[in-house]
Chains A and B, each alone.
Chain A
Amino acid sequence: MISLQHYLVVSAALFSLGILGLLTRRNAVHVLMSIELILNAANVNLVAFSRFSAGNLGGQVFAVFVIVVAASEVAVALAIVLTLYRLRRTPNLDEADILKG
C-alpha cells in the first residue's frame, strides 16, 4: 500500500535533485529543467496532501495552477536563454559575466 510518506519521500528527492542541479549545472537549459523539478516536487506534495490528509480538492486545484504558471515561466525563461544564445553563441551561464562588482 502506498502511503503519504512514500509521496513525500519522492517529492523530497525531486526537490533535492532540483536544488543540486540548480547549484551545479552550467547550461542554462539544464538549470531550467532543475527548476521544473522543484516545482513538480511541490506539485506531488500538493496532490498527495489533498488525497491523504487534507480531505479537500484545494491542493489539486493549486497544482493545476502551478503547472500553468510553470509553463509560462519557462516560456519567458527560454526566450531569454535564446536571446543569450543569439548574442553570445553559448547557452553557458558562466560566460554571462559582464555585470559584476
Chain B
Amino acid sequence: MEELLRSLALFKPETALVAGLLLVVIADSIGAAWRNAAMRLLTLASLAVALGLAFNLQASGAKASIFSGMLVVDPLGAAFKVILVAAGLLTVLVFTFRNSRELHGLGQGELMALVLALVLSCLLLAASSDLVILYLALEMVSITSYVMVAYLKGDRMSNEASLKYVLFGAASTGSMLYGLSFLYGMTGTTSLPAIQAFLAGGVPEANRFGIYAITLLVLAGFGFKIAAVPFHFWCPDVYQGAATPVTALLSVLPKAAGLAIALRFFYGTFSAPGMSPWDLEGSINWTALLMVISVLTMTLGNVAALTQTNMKRLLAYSSIAHAGYLLMGVVALSENGARGLLVYLAAYLFMNLGAFLVVTLVHLHDGSFDLRDYAGLHRRAPLLTVAMAFFLLSLVGIPPFVGFLGKLYVFAAVIEKGMGVYATIAAVNAAIAAYYYFRVLKVMTIDSGNEDKPVLRLAAADRAWLVAFALANLLPIFFWGQVEAWARGALVLYAGR
C-alpha cells in the first residue's frame, strides 16, 4: 500500500491523462449538442494539467523506481514527458475540426480520446524499466496510432495507410518481442536494472552472439517507432494517408518516445559502469552499427525527399531524415548526446508542427497537398508564406532559428566523441536537405501561377498560431541560456532498482 501511494505521487502526469481520457469517453456517450466543445475542453485541460505536473516533476528532480520496478522516474524521463505532453497539447490546440478539411463532419470524441491515449502510452514507454511494460507501452502506442491513421473511415488512402502501418508494426514489434524473450532467457529477469547488473557481471563467451542477435531484434521495434532505415517503409504512406493533424502528431510523439526508450535501453541498460557501452567485450562495434543506421536514415530520407511533389510525403521523408539526426544523440552515448537529443526534439516539435499547420491551412482553402498548387502563395497569403519560410529555414538548420540549436548540440556531442567523419556526413546531408526545403520556398515565392485564385482568408486563431509558431522558431536562440539550463538539469538517468 505504501509503495502504491508513493508511486502514485510520482505518477501524477499520467493520472491526469487517464482522468481526462475517462471523462472524454463519458462525455462522448452523453450525446448532447455541447459535447464536442466539452470534450475538447476536457482534453486540453487534462493535457495542460499533465504538462504542469510534468514540469513540476522535472523541477523536483525526483529519482525513483515506481510500481514495483515497472516504471522509473528520473529528470531525463521527466524532460521527455514535458516534450511529449507539450506535443499533444499543441496539436490539439492548433489543429481543430474546423481548420482541417479532412476531419470535417467526423466524430470528435474518439479522436480526442485517442490523442490522450497516445500521449499516455508514450509517457509510459519513455518511463518503462521492465520488459513487460516496455512491450505493453510500445503496443499501446502502436495500436492507438493504427486507429488514428484509419480515422477517415471511407477514405481509401487512409485505409491503405493504416493497413500498411498495422502490418509493418505487428511484424517489427513481433520480432522485437522474440528478441526480448531471449533476453529474458539469457538473464532470467525482465527488469532492466537487473539485466544491467547481469551484463555488468560479464557475458560468457557462449552468450555473446546471442546478445548481438537480441540487440538487432530489439532495434527492429525501436527503429519502427523512430522510422529509422530499414524500418521506415510505412512512414511516407502513413503520413500521406492519415489526416494531417494525425500526421503532425505521429511525426513527433512516437518518434520522441521511441528515442527515449532507445536511450534508456542502450545507454542506461547496455552500458554499465566499467563496461564500454555497445562493445560488450566482443568484436562487433555497436556504435558503428547504430552510426550506419543513422547515416542511412538521414541520407535516404533526404535523397528521397528531393523528388517529392506531395507536401505530406515530402515532410514524411524530411521526418525520416530528422530521425537520422536525432539518432546522432543516441549514437554519441554520452550526457551531451542525451542533451542534444532533448534540445533537438524540442526544436523539431515547433518546426514540424508549424510546417504541418501550413500544409493543413493550404489544404483547407485549396483542397490540395500538391507542391505545384503552392505556386504564387506569397500573393494570396503573405503571412502564411513568411511563417512557412521560418519553419523551412528552421528545418534546414540555419542559424537564427531553433533548428540550428538542435543540430549544433547533436553535432557537438558526436564530434566530442571523435566521430568527425560521421559529423561531416551529417553536415553534407543537411546541405542536401537545404535543396528541397528551399525548393518549397521557391515555389511559394518565385514561381507564378494561381493568380486567379482568391486570397486565403485565414481565421484569426490560425493567424495567431502561425505567428506564435514562427516566434517559437526564432526566439529560443535569444534564450539560449535557459534552454541550456533546462536541458542540463535533465541529465540524470536513473537506472536504480
Q: B308 at interface (Cβ–Cβ under 8 A)?
A: yes
Contact of A62 among B131, B170, B178, B240 (CB under 8 A): B131
Chain B nearest CB from A40 CB (Å) reads 10
Q: Do A73 and B170 touch (CB < 8 A)?
A: yes
Contacts across chains A and B counted by CB atoms under 8 Å: 129
Nearest CB in chain B: distance from A23 CB, A:
9
A54-B184 contact given A22-B171, A84-B163, A101-B310, CB 8 Å threshold:
yes
CB distance from B113 to the nearest CB of A (A): 15
Cα distance A72–B139 when bound, in Å? 10
CA distance A69 to B174 in the complex (A): 11
Which of B154, B159, B181 has a CB less than 8 Å from the CB of A42?
A: B181
**Which residues of A sit under 8 angstroms from B135, Cβ to Cβ?**
62, 65-66, 69
Q: Would you give 29 A-B contacts (Cβ < 8 Å), ordered by A?
A: A18-B174, A22-B171, A35-B167, A35-B170, A39-B177, A42-B177, A42-B178, A45-B181, A45-B182, A48-B185, A49-B184, A58-B132, A58-B189, A59-B181, A59-B190, A62-B132, A73-B170, A76-B147, A77-B167, A80-B162, A80-B163, A81-B163, A83-B150, A84-B160, A84-B163, A87-B156, A99-B240, A99-B241, A101-B313
Query: Using a CB–CB distance below 8 Å, which chain A residues touch chain B?
Result: 11, 15, 18-19, 22, 28, 31-32, 35, 38-39, 41-43, 45-46, 48-50, 53-56, 58-59, 61-62, 65-66, 69, 72-73, 76-77, 79-81, 83-84, 87-88, 93, 96-101
A35 adjacent to B136 (CB under 8 Å): no
Q: Which residues of B contact A38 (CB under 8 A)?
A: 171, 174-175, 177-178
Which residue from chain A places its CB closest to the CB of B307 in the assembled complex?
A: A101
Chain B residues near A (Cβ < 8 Å): 131-132, 135-136, 139, 142-143, 146-147, 150, 153-154, 156-157, 159-164, 166-167, 170-171, 174-175, 177-178, 180-182, 184-185, 188-190, 236-237, 240-241, 308, 310, 313
**If the complex has contacts A54-B185, A80-B150, A83-B153, are A96 and B174 also in contact, measured as CB distance less than 8 A?**
no
A65 to B132, CA, bound (A): 8
CB pair B157–A80 under 8 Å, yes or no, is: no
Inter-subunit contact A55/B146 (CB<8 Å): no
Flag if A69 contacts B136 (CB, 8 Å).
Answer: yes
* B160:A96 contact, CB within 8 angstroms: yes
Q: Evaluate contact between B188 and A66: CB separation under 8 angstroms.
A: no
Task: Say which residue of B139, B166, B171, B236 sits within 8 Å of A69 (CB atoms).
Answer: B139
**Measured between alpha carbons, how far is A49 from B313 in the docked complex, in Å?**
44
Contact assessment for A55 and B157 in the assembled complex, using a CB-CB cutoff below 8 Å = no
**Is the Cβ of A80 less than 8 Å from the Cβ of B131?**
no
Contact across chains for A73 and B142 when beta carbons are under 8 A apart: yes
The answer to whether residues A76 and B143 also contact, given A38-B178, A42-B177, A61-B132 and a CB cut-off of 8 A, is yes
Q: Are A46 and B146 in touch, CB under 8 angstroms?
A: no
Q: Are A84 and B159 in contact (CB under 8 A)?
A: yes
Chain B: CB-nearest residue to A38: B174
Besides A49-B188, A59-B190, 9 other A-B contacts (C-beta < 8 A): A15-B178, A42-B177, A62-B184, A62-B190, A69-B135, A73-B170, A81-B163, A84-B160, A97-B160
Chain B's closest residue to A46 (CB) is B181
List the 10 closest A-B pairs by CB distance, nearest first. A49-B185, A38-B174, A45-B181, A54-B188, A99-B237, A42-B177, A96-B160, A42-B181, A35-B170, A42-B178
Q: Chain B contacts of A88 at CB under 8 A? A: 156
- With contacts A35-B174, A56-B188 known, is A76 near B237, CB below 8 A? no
Minimum C-beta distance from A96 to chain B (A):
4
A56, A66, A97: the one contacting B189 at CB < 8 Å is A56
A83 touches B159 (CB 8 A): yes
Q: How far is the CB of B141 from chain A (nearest CB, A)?
A: 12
Q: How far is the CB of B237 from chain A (nearest CB, A)?
A: 4
Beyond A76-B143, A77-B166, whether A58 also contacts B185 by CB under 8 A is no
A96–B238 alpha-carbon span in the complex (Å)? 13
For residue B241, which residues in chain A have a CB less than 8 angstroms away from its CB?
A: 99
B146 to A87, Cβ gap below 8 A? no
- Are B236 and A96 in contact, with the CB atoms below 8 A? no
Query: Does B146 lie within 8 Å of A49, measured CB to CB?
Result: no
Cα-based distance from A18 to B167 in the complex (angstroms): 13
